[in-house]
Amino acid sequence: MISSCVLGNAAKSIVGTRRDEVYVAAVPLRATKGPAQLLMSTAYSFNLWDLQHFMVIINPNSSSLPSQALVYDFQPQDPESIAVAVAALSGRNVPGVVRMRTLKKLPTRKCWFAGYSKSDAIDAANKFNKGWETDLRIKHHDCRNYANGLVEYLTGTKAVLEHLRSSSVGKN
């Protein structure tokens, strides 16, 4: 089941589950300031799928973190470096990093409910991240592979980004 963030919250109240909610979100790729950054923002606004950065959001269903969601993503260590961009676009491996940070609320755009976790999602995500290889290679081992892998690990849903891309849900 894949739906928008708003539908995901409605589904939570209907189902009454105690499991954590898992979402996928897209944001513009980071680039150096100036023309490169403008190009990435424009590509994002035109919904060019291959020029978006994907991340996984866990909305914990616990009283210990009542209003904070956790964002997990995989990106180059220095995403604004021109040298890193050239290396990545030429198909070479670049050093990557798995990041985790908090959000006060879920994004209202380009955010899709991917499912409920099978277990404690934060513990599971941390375990997944420990085994994630951090050499990044565009279209082979990048944020898309990371998002697909983490969502599958957490929810059992396979190829979530491919489902989103082929559905009308992924076009908002």
Domain for residue 162, yes or no? yes
Domain for residue 141, yes or no? yes
Alpha-carbon distances of 67 from 56, 60, 84, 122, rounded to whole Å = 17, 9, 36, 15
Rounded to a whole number of angstroms, the distance between the first and last alpha carbons of the chain is 17
Domain for residue 5, yes or no? no
Q: Give the count of domains, the chain.
A: 1
Domain span at residue 144 reads 21-170
Q: What is the pTM of this model?
A: 0.78
DSSP 38: H
Domain for residue 16, yes or no? no
Residue indicated by tokens 């190009």: 39
Which carries the bigger pLDDT value, residue 50 or residue 16? 50
- Give the pLDDT score at 159: 95
Check: CB of residue 12 under 8 Å from CB of residue 20: no
- The top-scoring range by mean pLDDT among 20-34, 72-86, 88-102, 108-122 is 108-122
Domain for residue 11, yes or no? no
Domain for residue 14, yes or no? no
Distance between CA atoms of residues 48 and 67, nearest Å: 31
Residues sharing a CB contact under 8 Å with residue 112, sequence separation 6 or more, in sequence order? 2, 3, 4, 5, 8, 23, 24, 25, 164, 169, 170
Domain for residue 98, yes or no? yes
Domain for residue 152, yes or no? yes
- Give the pLDDT score at 61: 79
